Structure 1
Amino acid sequence: MKEINILDIENIKIGNAQNNDALTGCTLILCEKGAPCGVYVAGGGPASRETNLLNPMAAAEKIHAVLLSGGSAFGLDSAGGVMEYLEEKDIGFDTGVTKVPLVCTSCIFDLGIGSKNIRPDKKTGYECAKNAYEENNYKDGNYGVGCGATAGKLLGKDFMTKTGVGSYAVQIGNLKVGAVVCVNALGDVFDDKGNIIAGLLNSEKDGFLNTFETMIKSIEPKENLFTSNTTIGAVITNASFDKTKMNKIARMAHNGYVKRINPINTTADGDSIYALSTGDVISDINVVGSISSFVVEMAIERAIKSAKGVCGVKSYNEMQVKK
């Protein structure tokens, strides 16, 4: 198994667009020819659009893009700009009258950092689609949907860590599997040794508390406390599977979230993950699902380690310098 660039997976393009002043943006995974796609939504507060298309009972067998956006539910407007651009490029489901791009969208809550009044909109989505189609300009870190991402929100903005969007991909023979994940979690993020690498800062801001241990000090209901969270992402493979099997792979891929983030899937997280099939490589579903979980883990770690601190919110890299 060797590491490859996420953009080495065939039949996809990935683009970012962001507003660095408002600290928000979006990331688009574009499949011009269409791709079978599944989704698993485990969080209790998702902001999403067109995910019902991915139900195995729904008629559409393929979609044309997955959009990961900031702006909470306001950010869903950015999908309209993606649709406009793809229609101009004659990409979409052929209705006989026009082609309708099928764009599934999920959003993170990033209104608590940067500007709460500036969110990804139709113009941002159009720019993101253009960047994907023309430039394939995806980058890890404080780009696209990762621009305003943070983690460790239990005690508010003063004690959270700056995170971002990350990618990781591998190849085994002809099989390629990769993931793009934006980490915007209520909880802490761990490396493969169980060390916290992003999350709830201590009072001196030179190390981490444990969110779970802090939470359980009080079992009373906590109103208006668990806000501004959600980890969203997508697994991409050149293996050939239908929509039903891609839904299963999405569920297996979600195990990567569980292994690296705690707490996860709370009522205030909208944790969601997509899984897209872009090729024709014949593979075992359990192999692909297990690899998907692994690349999600690695994409999460890269989302942390590629981020840079902003607005006084420290990132992993600033914490390492402090040590």
Structure 2
Amino acid sequence: MQQSLPTRAPGAITDVAGIEVGHYSDTRRPTGCTVVIARGGAVAGVDVRGAAPGTRETDLLEPGNLVQQVHAVMLSGGSAWGLDAASGAMRWLDEQGIGLDMGTARVPIVPAAVLFDLHVGDARIRPSLEAGYAACAAASRRPPAEGNIGAGSGAVVGKAFGMGFAMKGGIGSASVSVDGVTVGAIIACNAVGDVVDPATGAPLAGALSADRKSLRNTQQALLRGDAPHPLLAGSNTTIGVIATDAALTKVQAQRLATVGHDGLARAIRPVHTMSDGDTLFALATARAARHPGMLVLAAMAAEAVQQATVHAVLAARGIALDGGVQLPACSDGI
């Protein structure tokens, strides 16, 4: 019997004042990109926990480095090829007159992170500059679509025992508000591990049993000695953005990104592996009139990331790959 699924909590990252989100999905195969835009600029931080990341412009987010604000963050499929999507965001932002004023020009600051989805469909098709531009053109303050869209288009979870026993991942969003301050998150989940219900620890989507009729529970399987399938480093990865309307320093933004990984650890098992490039960005738009303190913001960030990760698989839909491989989803009732 299938376990009862958790109820989707309300809210999205666009509940944070000053944040817009846009998706682009390539109809030729499951891949795409998702942009989080802060037109007015946002203080930003980043924390990379996976051992096989694909990123761009993360060094400038170090608290001791010069640039104080970013204008967008790009999340993309396509592995390292997908980093090109950030150039499309730069082009679009430049056309809107948004960027760091350098006197002779404005330079949009767009950090990025990618996930590996090249084993889903034709690997020669990956997000490009044009894809990043299109994601920006589609951006709005509306709650973003979830599941098989944008950076979650080609996401797959539960690959520890091979793609033949994996399930469809996706992208999800959530938000938490406390006393007039909001923290939201958007997460593209392409983890090697399972996504679990944080309340019970039961897998929601992940590695299937040998007969593909139930979930294997990757964490328990590994601990009892089941041998994992050989994994190519970097062939997975969960990436995302945390945003708040509180005012933060760069040090505080970096800390918010760090504690956001607590949410990944509650919802993904195992997480931060040698084959994942798990990366979280944090943005602070400073639109709220107050600051509840970092302890409260940290709790909110972990909760928003946890919820968004679960939403990513609750919203996913199963797909069929060339060669007859089926990737079922949580919604299929497994």
User: Normalised by the size of structure 1, how large is the TM-score?
Assistant: 0.94
Check conservation: 1:12, 1:31, Cα contact below 8 A: yes
Q: Which residue of 1 aligns with 2:32?
A: 25
Report the Cα offset of residue 291 of structure 1.
Answer: 0.7
Q: Determine if the alignment matches structure 1 residue 158 to structure 2 residue 181.
A: no
One-letter code aligned to 2:271? I
Aligned residues of 1:141 and 1:166 also touching (Cα < 8 A): yes
Match of 1:316 in 2: 330
CA distance in 2, matches of 1:233, 1:215: 27
The TM-score with structure 2 as length reference comes to 0.91
> What does the per-residue CA deviation read over 1:259-300, in whole Å, with 9 as the maximum and x for residues that have no partner?
111111111100011111012432201101111001111111
How many angstroms apart in 2 are the aligned matches of 1:66 and 1:307? 23
Q: 2:304 aligned with 1:295, yes or no?
A: yes
Query: How many residue pairs are counted as aligned between the two chains?
Result: 318
Q: Does 1:256 align with 2:259?
A: no
Asked whether the equivalents of residues 16 and 143 of structure 1 are also in contact (C-alpha less than 8 Å), the reply is yes
* Residues 220, 186 of structure 1: alpha-carbon distance in 2 compared, 3 angstrom cutoff: closer
Measured against aligned partners, the alpha-carbon deviations of 1:4-62 in whole angstroms (never above 9, x if no partner) come to: 34322211110000113310000000011110011110000000000111100110010
Say if 1:221 and 1:317 are closer, same or farther in 2 by CA, change over 3 A: closer
CA distance in 1, matches of 2:174, 2:143: 16
Q: Aligned partner of 2:89: which letter?
A: V
- The C-alpha deviation readout for 1:51-93, integer Å capped at 9, x for no partner, is 1111001100100001100000110011111111111111110
RMSD: 1.9
Aligned to 1:196: 203
Residues 317 and 331 in structure 2, CA contact (< 8 A), matched pair in contact too:
yes
Instruction: Name the CA shift for 1:189/1:162 in 2 (closer, same or farther; >3 Å).
Output: same
Give secondary structure in 2 for the equivalent of 1:189. strand
The within-5 A match list for 1:46-85 is 46-85=53-92
Deviation at 1:205, TM superposition (A): 1.1
Aligned-partner residue type, residue 313 of structure 1: L
| Whole-angstrom distance in 1 between the partners of 2:81 and 2:208 | 29
* Kept in 2: contact 1:68–1:145 (CA 8 A): yes
Aligned partners of 1:223 and 1:155: how far apart in 2?
8
Does residue 1:175 correspond to 2:181, yes or no?
yes
Match for residue 215 of structure 1?
222
**Distance in 2 between residues matched to 1:125 and 1:17, nearest whole Å:** 7
Structure 1: 4+ residue segments shifted above 4 A: 216-227
Name structure 1 gaps, 5 residues minimum: none
CA, structure 1 residues 214+285, in 2 after alignment: closer, same or farther (shift >3 Å)? same
Give 3-state SS (helix, strand or coil) of 2:74's partner: strand
**2:178, 2:227 → 1: CA distance?**
49
Matches of 2:257 and 2:238 in 1, distance apart?
Answer: 14
